[in-house]
Amino acid sequence: MKRFPRMVQVDGRGQLVIPKDVRDELGIEEGTGFWVYVVTDEGILLKKIDAKPLADHKEELDAIDAKADAIKVKRKNLDTAKDRYQKQKQGKFELV
């Protein structure tokens, strides 16, 4: 693929569309996660998060479990999200 800047616009809900050829090249599909970095006075940088098995997220999940009450996340919802995640062929992120 040719490497040149693309212009995309944010819609009224704050969403932007990654062009299809870019999604295809990078293997981006629905549910793909990204780290979002703020580049001071410049904009944002998106870095694709490769899907990992749930077991590889143990440290993060343990931290969330430990702070569930403080961050007002119901343990039942955490367990449901974990179960759904484990049933998927590839790991994908889901908002609880």
Q: What are the structural domain ranges in the chain?
A: 1-50, 54-87
Q: What is the pLDDT of residues 35-58, one digit of tens each?
A: 888 888 788 888 888 766 656 777
Q: What is the pLDDT of residues 9-45, one digit of tens each?
A: 999 999 999 999 889 988 888 878 888 888 887 888 8
Strand partners, 33: 49
- Is 1-50 CATH 2.40.50.140? no
pLDDT category of residue 72 using cuts at 50, 70 and 90 = confident
3-state SS string for the chain: CCCCCCCCCCCCCCCCCCCHHHHHHHCCCCCCEEEEEEECCCEEEEEEECCCCHHHHHHHHHHHHHHCCCCCCCHHHHHHHHHHHHHCCCCCCCCC
pTM comes to 0.49
